[in-house]
Amino acid sequence: MGQRPSCVEDEEIERKSHFTHAEIRRMRADFERIADPETSTITKEQFNATIHPYISSWTAGNIFLERLFDAFDENGDKTIDFRELVHGLSVFSRGTPEEKLELSFRIYDINGDGFIERKELFKIMSQMYSAFYNEDQSARIHELVARFFEDLDVNGDGQLSLTEYKLQAMKEPLIVDFLQQFLADPDPRTGSLHNLSIGG
């Protein structure tokens, strides 16, 4: 890290994303304006400032942004490099249904152990709901989470694997669709996420 990335690296990033070559180049230029020159990474605070305009009604300290950062941070080093940012944004904004399922799984898996626990799902959904509803939604969320686990948690251990999650999400799309309401409409002047003003 720290050396200027080659065209070959960006071509590989492009092949694994849903962005065009021109979009990757613009994103790279924006990213390099704020990335640490030694590590070529951005911090959680910089990430929050980048993503915040595209998350409806949320502040940078909200649990959703915290979880999104961790989901984008694939190697768990508490920073995000350009490849991780592009991959995450690609899935977040233009991903296939399966890709978005995997991203939402990582968001719900708070402790990163590869399983979603009842308490993790309830905690995130409760805090997300609280930003949109004044009344207490605990009963409704408990019911939804209970139904979700009752169908697939066969051994009753209170956790779901990615495979179980994918199967259940097909029958209970509300769990996954729930995340979509936190996306703001793209700025009509830009039309897509590749024009994010990362540098402010």
> Do both 86 and 14 map to the same domain?
yes
> Do both 88 and 15 map to the same domain?
yes
Burial 114-134 (b: 16+ CB within 10 A, else e): ebbbbebbbebbbebbeeeee
Please name the amino acid found at residue 35. A
> Do both 176 and 128 map to the same domain?
yes
Q: Determine the angle formed by the axes of helices 162-171 and 97-108, rounding to 10 degrees.
A: 120
**pLDDT bracket for residue 132 (50, 70, 90):** low
pLDDT, position 199: 36
Instruction: Let me know if residue 200 belongs to a domain.
Output: no
**pLDDT bracket for residue 190 (50, 70, 90):** very low
pLDDT, position 193: 42
Mean pLDDT of 177-187: 51
What domain range is 42 assigned to?
Answer: 7-96+184-195
> Do both 105 and 130 map to the same domain?
yes
Look at 200 and 172; give whichever has higher pLDDT.
Answer: 172
> Do both 114 and 167 map to the same domain?
yes
> Do both 51 and 149 map to the same domain?
no
pLDDT, position 178: 60
Tokens of 87: 């991959």
pLDDT, position 172: 65
> Do both 83 and 127 map to the same domain?
no
pLDDT, position 152: 75
Contact of 14 with 183, CB cutoff 8 Å: no
Instruction: Let me know if residue 174 belongs to a domain.
Output: yes
Number of domains, the chain: 2
At residue 59, does pLDDT exceed 50?
Answer: no
Strand partners, 80: 42
Please name the amino acid found at residue 142. H
At residue 3, does pLDDT exceed 50?
Answer: no
> Do both 123 and 159 map to the same domain?
yes
Mean pLDDT of 115-129: 85
**pLDDT bracket for residue 55 (50, 70, 90):** low
Q: What is the CATH number of the domain that holds 137?
A: 1.10.238.10
Instruction: Let me know if residue 124 belongs to a domain.
Output: yes
> Do both 41 and 107 map to the same domain?
no
Instruction: Let me know if residue 133 belongs to a domain.
Output: yes
pLDDT, position 155: 75
Instruction: Let me know if residue 78 belongs to a domain.
Output: yes
Instruction: Let me know if residue 2 belongs to a domain.
Output: no
Picking from 129, 144, 136, 121, the residue whose alpha carbon sits closest to that of residue 62 is: 129
> Do both 130 and 158 map to the same domain?
yes
Instruction: Let me know if residue 67 belongs to a domain.
Output: yes
> Do both 11 and 88 map to the same domain?
yes
Instruction: Let me know if residue 1 belongs to a domain.
Output: no
Strands 116-117, 159-160: pairing is: antiparallel
> Do both 88 and 106 map to the same domain?
no
Picking from 124, 117, 127, the residue whose alpha carbon sits closest to that of residue 148 is: 117
At residue 93, does pLDDT exceed 50?
Answer: yes
What is the rounded CA–CA span in Å between residue 148 and residue 166?
A: 11
Picking from 38, 50, 181, the residue whose alpha carbon sits closest to that of residue 104 is: 181
Render pLDDT for 24-38 as a digit per residue (tens, 0 to 9).
999 999 899 999 999
**pLDDT bracket for residue 6 (50, 70, 90):** low
Largest alpha-carbon pair distance within the chain? 53
The pTM assigned to this predicted structure is 0.76
Render pLDDT for 71-82 as a digit per residue (tens, 0 to 9).
999 999 999 999
